Structure 1
Amino acid sequence: MADETLAAEMAQRVEELGYEMVELEQAGSRARPILRLSIDRPDSKPGEPAVSLDDCSRVSRALEPWLDQREGLSDRYVIEVSSPGVERPLTKPRDWDRFAGAEVSVKTRVPIEGRGKKVQGTLVGLRDGERVALQVDGDEVEIPLGEIERGNLVFRWERGQKR
């Protein structure tokens, strides 16, 4: 779990650069912290390339001077900036509306409607800001946002698609 203050400040700086922070993971040690930052474009769509290596480099270079001056962060930190990938995590409430129509996988804290803790289906969207609606095997399933441990887009290779 990342330091919430650091995460909020990084998210703001990433947004000022024209991207959105998907996730921040803190790893390593206090003496040599590793900051793994996943970024995306605010208008990205499932299955479309969104973030390039140049984008990741740009964000990394822009954050380094700020991180160099950050109180309480070892000067031996490592920052790794990457794309969220084709199976992008859904980390913010707005993601559940933004990617409506896409196939998603959801892991919950408790079993949902006799389906277990892992549910996969087509994302309908976020209802009343608190329940994620999915189409699963012809049924609509609603999952309280607070019960979701992790959610992500599902990518399927299509026949004939280059790998």
Structure 2
Amino acid sequence: MGYEVVRIRLGGGMQTVLQVMIERADRVPLTVDDCAAASRAISAQFENDNLPAADYTLEVSSPGIDRPLVRLADFARFAGFEAKVEMSEPLEGRRRFRGRLQGAGDGCVRMTVDDHDVSLPYDMIRAAKLVLTDELLAASQAAERL
């Protein structure tokens, strides 16, 4: 359908939510109509595959401007922007890093944190996301105008 899956997450409290985060493969901003079309296609596929009925709500959404960084390629794609990274285990005495992404390669994410360059093993990253900054907003608005 021309979409890439950013993340799939099953969670919730009183109601189970199956969250599917997508973005357009052509990097054009995602619309509500895109999410609705993807939701219908996912629901139809579940029915076609005869998956057992479950008590969940399907939620299809955009990753947003301050998107999660999931794949190693995401860290390279958003080099130059500020990000928060949480490690599964302490590294250099800390689990949380906030700084400017410098890229990714050889299984590591490179960042500048507090004026120091750090290399974070990708397989130790528990969660990461872009930080909403004026710079990120400006870049997002410029992409929408294209």
* Distance of 2:12 and 2:104 partners within structure 1: 35
CA contact (8 A) 1:33 1:74 kept: no
Whether 1:51 and 2:35 are equivalent positions in the alignment is no
Which of 66, 82, 86 is the equivalent residue of 1:107?
86
Question: What stretches of structure 2 of length at least 5 have no aligned partner?
Answer: 139-146
Assess, with a 3 A threshold, how the Cα gap between structure 1 residues 146 and 75 changes in structure 2: closer, same or farther. closer
Q: Could you tell me the TM-score, scaled by structure 2's length?
A: 0.80
1:123 aligns with 101
Tell me the CA shift for residue 52 of structure 1: 1.4
Q: Could you tell me the TM-score, scaled by structure 1's length?
A: 0.72
Runs of 4 or more, structure 1, over 4 Å off, are: none
More relative contact order in 1 or in 2 (CA 8 Å, sep 6+)? Answer: 2
* Distance of 1:70 and 1:133 partners within structure 2: 41
CA contact (8 A) 1:68 1:75 kept: no
1:25 aligns with 9
Whether 1:82 and 2:65 are equivalent positions in the alignment is no
CA contact (8 A) 2:2 2:26 kept: no
- Letter of the 2:46 partner, please give it: L
Whether 1:153 and 2:136 are equivalent positions in the alignment is no
Which of 16, 33, 37 is the equivalent residue of 2:20?
37
Tell me the CA shift for residue 75 of structure 1: 6.3
Whether 1:132 and 2:109 are equivalent positions in the alignment is yes
Question: What stretches of structure 1 of length at least 5 have no aligned partner?
Answer: 1-16
- Structure with the largest fraction of strand: 2
Identity of aligned residues (%): 36
2:43 aligns with 64
